[in-house]
Chain A
Amino acid sequence: MTERKGCALVTGSSRGIGAATALALAREGWPVRVNYRVDEDGARGVVAQIESEGGSATAIQGDVADAAELAVLLEPGEDGPVLVLVNNAGLRLDGLSPQLEDEQWQRVIDVNLTATFRATREALTQMLRARFGRIINVASIVGPRANAGQANYAASKAGVIGFTKTVAVEVARRGVTVNAVAPGFIETALTEEILGKDLEKSIPARRVGSPEEVAACIRFLASEDASYVTGTTLTVDGGLSA
């Protein structure tokens, strides 16, 4: 259990990996800011579950692609500075490259990559002063690996991994770690269209992963136990990338 005076912000945590992560961090003693863009009911459900387990959480609306709204999510509040930041909010707008519209490209880059940069920049000022911080960026196995129809998504997630490594090196000497997780096929709303098509046969574990399995890795990277782990990407894919 953490004894730090601060909170955790998990972007896009009204469902899926974000929700599981919010719950996992709350169980570690972090007050959690449960961010959502439109799914208020989902976010309130996550908060209620955390509170029912004796934890502390706040649902907080904001579109991470909007710089002003994102800044509000990161402001120090009654729950202290943001000492754990999980950049989880993500978006897919698929299409083969010859037909990919500028808007599809830009929106995915804005949400998946630019928001990760802006949130990190904002959080780092608080973390550097505290001489402690944990930033965990949710990347994907798509980026390091190809997946037809996802050039925008792949570019954004590969960018997140490069960004993670670079920032990790910049701030390592201040007790701030920056890592990424790269989920494979996980049962979430983002992947429901593509699951169930004999996909399991291609995965060495012969099953898709659960949001809780990704959240467990994020919880580790956010912990004191992971103090010497920085700049890495932890793949969570049942062996798909092996």
Chain B
Amino acid sequence: MPTQVTPESVEKTIYDGLVELGTERDLLSREATLESLDVDSLDLVELAQIVEDEFGVELRGDDVKDVKTVGEVIDLVVSKAG
């Protein structure tokens, strides 16, 4: 069963996913840019897979191409689920 989508549950999953991909947890915030965290396009592909496994929300390449910050990723997942 997919986890229920709430801003809090998505934030936790995104943060945990980014840490799993090598980002230091101390650097994470909604305002942090993906570029500053050294999150590359392949990381985003993996993050999308983590989100899909957790929430059943599918993120395609077009969905994330304009995303710049961690907060925007969280908001995107929440809006796609709604």
Contacts and interface: CB of A to CB of B under 8 A. Distances in A.
Nearest to A128: B46
A173 B42 contact: yes
A contacts with B: majority SS: helix
A77 B37 CA distance: 35
B49 A171 contact: no
Interface of A: 125, 128-129, 170-171, 173-174
Interface in B16-61: 42, 45-46, 49
Nearest to B48: A125
A129 B49 contact: yes
11 contacts: A125-B49, A128-B42, A128-B45, A128-B46, A128-B49, A129-B46, A129-B49, A170-B42, A171-B42, A173-B42, A174-B42
A170 B42 CA distance: 8
A173 B41 CA distance: 12
Contacts of B42: 128, 170-171, 173-174
Interface of B: 42, 45-46, 49
Contacts of A173: 42
Given A128-B42, A171-B42, 5 more contacts: A125-B49, A128-B45, A129-B49, A170-B42, A174-B42
Nearest to B41: A170
A135 to B, nearest CB: 15
A174 B41 CA distance: 12
Listed from nearest, the 5 A-B pairs whose CB atoms lie closest are: A125-B49, A128-B46, A174-B42, A170-B42, A171-B42
A74 to B, nearest CB: 14
A171 B41 CA distance: 11
A12 to B, nearest CB: 28
Nearest to A170: B42
Nearest to B45: A128
Contacts of A174: 42
A129 B21 CA distance: 9
